[in-house]
Amino acid sequence: MGISSWEPYTRAQATRVLFDAETALLENPTLRGETEEPVRTLRGGRARGRLWGGNLTVLTSLLGSPYATGDDPIVLMLEEVREPASEIDRMLGQLELAGVLARARGTIRLLERAVA
């Protein structure tokens, strides 16, 4: 998100992708003395498809528009902050019913802890 703090890792990643035209890679930043990695792989492998995603609430509101149509494979990236778990469940259900999840060959999840 543009209003988030721009840590050195975030700034370097954005520069490489936007200005140096490098391929985007999701990798753990080198942390100062910390052993826990902020990025966890739940199921390894490779996925290929058009990157489609963003804020879960916004993506759900795009359903039915020309921006959320097609049947091509996608790598789905989801981001959400402080949304109640019931709302996340509802929105994922809408993506499923719209066929978006069936097109996903890989998923990147950037969800902050949901509000109970």
pLDDT tens for each residue of 14-27: 888 889 888 776 66
Taking the domains of the chain in order of start, what are their residue ranges?
47-111
Q: What is the pLDDT along the chain (116 residues), one digit of tens a residue?
A: 566 677 777 788 788 888 988 877 666 666 556 555 666 677 778 888 988 988 999 999 999 998 888 889 999 989 888 889 999 999 999 999 999 999 999 888 765 554 54
Q: How far apart are CA 67 and CA 52, in angstroms?
A: 10
Looking at domain 47-111, its CATH superfamily turns out to be: LD-carboxypeptidase A C-terminal domain-like (3.50.30.60)
| Environment class of 22 (CB within 10 Å of its CB; exposed 0-12, middle 13-18, buried 19+) | exposed
